[in-house]
Amino acid sequence: MPQTFAASDAVELAVVERSGFVESRHAGIAIVLGADGTLVERIGDPTALILPRSSLKPLQALACLAAGAPLEGERLGLSTASHSGTDRHVAVVRDILDAAALGEEALGCPAAWPGDTATRDELVRDHAEPSRIRMNCSGKHAAMLLTCVTNGWDPAGYLDAQHPLQAHIRDVIERLIGEKVAATAIDGCGAPVYAMTLFGLARAVHRIGGSSKTSPFALHRSAGALVEAVREHPWTIDGPGRPDTIAIERLGVFAKGGAEGVMVMVAPDGTTVALKMLDGSGRAATAVALRLLERAGALAPAAVAETMSALSLSVLGGGEAVGAIRPAF
């Protein structure tokens, strides 16, 4: 059975400190690629297999673009998002569905409450129910549906791994990661997610993050458009006050977290980090990625420190900060 790395192969990446006592530790693996794609740092074995979860979304969105889906600007940002379900997010998802002449019922993701607390509270006061369009992956699903309509593929069954859409997405993913996927699983949203090495994921995200809209290669032009859309509309990929959006807004990075403690991040100069927390917790992932980019010389220490202060890294005791979640290096 394919599986990720063992506890004996993990390296401490972050600690949780409470009142001067290290209460918990997060172990995992990480890799840093330089602006030119060469290996800068490895922590643990980056050839270990992982499921990228939502950190795969930039690759899936790029595949939709490569298949001719008319996505740009906020639409493109939402196609690669794990959004917080605000009304603003939902409006763009509806716009993508309208372009496909499809309704919310076509979405194959499960119904969910929005991650944004204020939006959820408002919906509860209005006696609303969880809905598919509020689910954090609805932008990806809407983009997949639009891609099907654009290509004349039947939207029904679009999540089946054998559907023409998913076959195309897998092909693009394998081209980007430079390896064959090791296994196919079902993500939390119902879409296929593929096992690959952490190095393969880093290589793909480095290629995307370093692409230009003026490249002579169509796939690279599309990748450049995707990164530009996210950097110009950072609220789309996550949400106000949430880690990916904060990092993008403050540092100009391209960041995409995934469930089970996965994170990919590309600095403006192209330096790339990919990491996986073995315990599945993502609470330290953004901070660790930022520190690794800082160590590589791709981000200024003062800017990283300022960004860290805006993340939810405080450990509370009696309602007051008594410690912090921090990188272990």
Residues paired with residue 16 on neighbouring β-strands, in sequence order: 24, 325
* DSSP per position, 219-270: HHHHHHHHHHHHHH-HHHHS-TTSHHHHHHHHH--EEEEETTTEEEEE-TTS
pLDDT at 134: 98
pLDDT tens-digit series, residues 14-37: 999 999 999 999 999 999 999 999
Place of tokens 């081209």: 175
Task: State pLDDT tens for residues 181-206.
Answer: 999 999 999 999 999 999 999 999 99
**What is the mean predicted confidence (pLDDT) over 26-55?**
98
Q: Using an 8 Å Cβ cutoff, are 227 and 65 in contact?
A: no
Burial degree of 216 (CB within 10 A; 0-12, 13-18, 19+) = exposed
pLDDT tens for residues 202-219? 999 999 999 988 888 999
Residues of the chain with pLDDT > 70, as a percent, come to 100
Whole-number pLDDT of residue 264: 98
SS3 state of residue 28:
strand
Give the position of tokens 């969910």: 112
Whether residue 1 is predicted with pLDDT greater than 90 in this model: the reply is no
Token pair in block for residue 109: 């993701």
Rounded (10°) angle between helices 198-209 and 57-66: 50
Burial code of 81-106, b = ≥16 C-beta within 10 A, e = fewer?
bbbbbbebbbebbeebbebbebebeb
Distances in Å between the Cα of 152 and the Cα atoms of 61, 146, 147, 155 are: 18, 10, 9, 9
Confidence at residue 304, expressed as pLDDT on a 0 to 100 scale? 98
DSSP classification of residue 110: P
Which two tokens mark 101?
Answer: 């002449």
Residue 329 and residue 259: Cα distance in Å, rounded?
Answer: 23
pLDDT value, residue 213: 87
Structure confidence at residue 59 (pLDDT):
98
pLDDT per residue over 162-184, tens digit each? 999 999 999 999 999 999 999 99
Q: Are 187 and 31 in contact (CB under 8 A)?
A: no
Distances (CA, A) of 233 to 33, 81, 252, 315: 25, 11, 11, 30
Domain coordinates of the chain in residue numbers?
Answer: 45-273
Average pLDDT, the chain: 97
Q: What average pLDDT does this structure show over 51-63? A: 98
